[in-house]
Structures are given as C-alpha cells and as structure tokens.
Amino acid sequence: MPNGHSHDAAPAGNKLTIERLEESLERLGYAFVEDDDTPNVLRARFDHYPFTFAVAGEHSHILVVRGRWDELLSVQQKLEATRLCNHWNMERMWPKVYVRRENDSALGMYGELVFDYYYGVSDEAIDRAITCALSTTVAFFSSLSSQVSDQDEADA
C-alpha cells in the first residue's frame, strides 16, 4: 500500500454528495437550481456568470466547479483567447482556464477547479472549495473583461 493510504473510500458521513453540496451553497447564502437533465449537477449565477457544480467520478467523490465567461468571442479570436488562457495558467494556480468552441462561430471562455474527496470531506472543506472556485474564477473573468476591452480599444 503506497504511502500507507488505505484503499477504502470515505466513511458514509464524510462522502461528497449532491445533498452536501446543496447544503454548502445554502450555508454560504448562494441561490442555485438543480439541473433537470443531470441529477449530480447544480447551476447558479455569480456576478452574472453561469456556474455549474458537479459531483463526478466513479465513486461520486470529485467536486467540479466550472464557470463560463458571460461573453462569447468569435472563432477568429481563438489565438488571442488561447494566449490569454495560457498566460493565466502559467502565472496562477487557480482556476484552470480554457477556451472551447460553443458553435460554428463562437468561443466560450471557462474557469474550472476540481477537488478529489475520495477519502472524505468536511463541510468546512466543501465551503472553502466553493469559495475558492468562485473567487478565483470571477477574478479570471474580470481580468478577461479588462484585457478584451483593452484589445478592442487598441484595435479601434
């Protein structure tokens, strides 16, 4: 057994569940809705940005918090969008950011944090994960807003 870790998953009371995620969001004072199509996903808006909170993984032990910038870029801006994401990822630990094609003509910019709670998680740790994910992702989006507007002004 490497590093002395047991291969047993978290005790039932410490497991990450969608119910515990809902409780955490309520404790933090955040409004959210359940996803009608996906039972392990919650949706919310923070500073007008859409976010999803998902419980994922084979053992439902992974918390994924993903936000999307509220503006779409044209596919012609892919190189610049990728450059902005790469710069952020090189300079900062959180969140992981990326650009994704939304349709034939538009790109979305995303921020994402993933937390592995295979061995269990406290309520406080879930709260901290959500707070960290939201604050760092919104900081990325704020940074994007100023950089894209600066670029637009430079092009004018």
Number of structural domains found in the chain: 1
Q: Please tell me the pTM assigned to this model.
A: 0.87
Listed residue (34, 50, 60) closest to 112, CA to CA = 50
Judged against a pLDDT cut of 70, whether residue 105 lies above it is answered with yes
DSSP character string of 78-115: HHHHHHHHHHHHHH-SS-EEEEEE-SSSEEEEEEEEEE
Tens digits of per-residue pLDDT, 80-102? 999 999 999 999 999 999 999 99
Please, what is the average pLDDT of the chain? 89
How confident is the model at residue 156, as a pLDDT? 40
How confident is the model at residue 136, as a pLDDT? 97
Domain membership flag for residue 124: yes
CATH of the domain at 148: 3.30.1460
Domain membership flag for residue 90: no
The rounded distance, in Å, linking the Cα atoms of 136 and 138 is 6
Domain membership flag for residue 85: no
Domain membership flag for residue 36: yes
Judged against a pLDDT cut of 70, whether residue 5 lies above it is answered with no
Secondary element (H or E) of residue 151: helix 123-155
How confident is the model at residue 43, as a pLDDT? 97
Listed residue (40, 42, 72) closest to 134, CA to CA = 42
Domain membership flag for residue 83: no
How confident is the model at residue 155, as a pLDDT? 45
Domain membership flag for residue 137: yes
Domain membership flag for residue 87: no
Domain membership flag for residue 135: yes
Tens digits of per-residue pLDDT, 37-66? 999 999 999 999 999 999 999 999 999 999
The domain containing residue 149 runs over which residues?
2-70+108-155
Tens digits of per-residue pLDDT, 124-143? 999 999 999 999 999 999 99
